[in-house]
Chains A and B, each alone.
Chain A
Amino acid sequence: GAVVSQHPSWVICKSGTSVKIECRSLDFQATTMFWYRQFPKQSLMLMATSNEGSKATYEQGVEKDKFLINHASLTLSTLTVTSAHPEDSSFYICSARAGSQETQYFGPGTRLLVL
């Protein structure tokens, strides 16, 4: 099956710093990537939809200036958490969809801890 990787798998940072998370589709071209956030013992909440070469579409309540998304190529999307604060600590998961394929393939997730 299709493989999606994320890097880093976990990160600890100080409050006020920015953190970049990469999402890569390893064996297919992902025209659309999705970024989700998961709080402990809760479901995934969609943050934004990212289409290659265009601006991301953010869900209501998600600050686009806080969570910068770049989808510069068909195999890479990045999420940058700017000026991170402890409340941004969470599990961030990306998924990728290839063209007309219906299935979303998920990355392994990145655990962010902001101190």
Chain B
Amino acid sequence: GEDVEQSLFLSVREGDSSVINCTYTDSSSTYLYWYKQEPGAGLQLLTYIFSNMDMKQDQRLTVLLNKKDKHLSLRIADTQTGDSAIYFCAESMYGNTPLVFGKGTRLSVIA
């Protein structure tokens, strides 16, 4: 079945770049997402990328997709304390199929 893997923890200093990695198994995944979850809150869509793209940049966020290796990464430039949260990678085969989530990466930003 489909599986999405992420490292569980990442700690960075304020001002540094953060890179959160994700791997997935389903080669037919068409849409790949990054969600942010702050403590006690729901999920906030940060960005998503279609499988026919290699990179997508949105302000401080850069998403890189290596479709051959089924590897997705999220880079946050100039990481701030407000970026501390859990980041979920998710994939879906089609736009109207449910998302399959990774376990989430807890990002801690040290001032």
Contact = CB atoms under 8 A, between A and B. Distances in A.
Interface stretch (B37-45, B53-61, B67-75, B77-85): B37-45
B31 A44 contact: no
Given A102-B31, A106-B35, A111-B40, A46 B45 contact: no
Contacts of B100: 46
B52 interface: no
A80 B15 CA distance: 45
The size bracket of the interface on B is: 20 to 34
A106 B45 contact: yes
Nearest to A45: B101
A6 interface: yes
Contacts, number: 51
Interface stretch (A14-22, A61-69, A82-90, A93-101): A93-101
Given A93-B42, A93-B43, A104 B99 contact: yes
Nearest to B106: A41
Interface residues of A, number: 23
Interface in B1-40: 31, 35, 40
B10 to A, nearest CB: 15
A102 B95 contact: yes
B45 A105 contact: yes
A97 B35 CA distance: 15
A43 B42 contact: no
Contact of A6 (B35, B42, B88, B101): B42
Interface of A: 1, 6, 32, 34, 42-44, 46, 49, 93, 95, 97, 100-109, 111
Nearest 3 CB-CB pairs, A to B? A102-B95, A108-B42, A106-B43
25 contacts: A1-B45, A6-B42, A32-B96, A34-B98, A42-B103, A42-B104, A43-B102, A43-B103, A46-B98, A46-B99, A46-B100, A93-B42, A102-B31, A102-B48, A102-B95, A102-B96, A103-B48, A103-B95, A105-B45, A106-B35, A106-B42, A108-B41, A109-B40, A109-B42, A111-B40
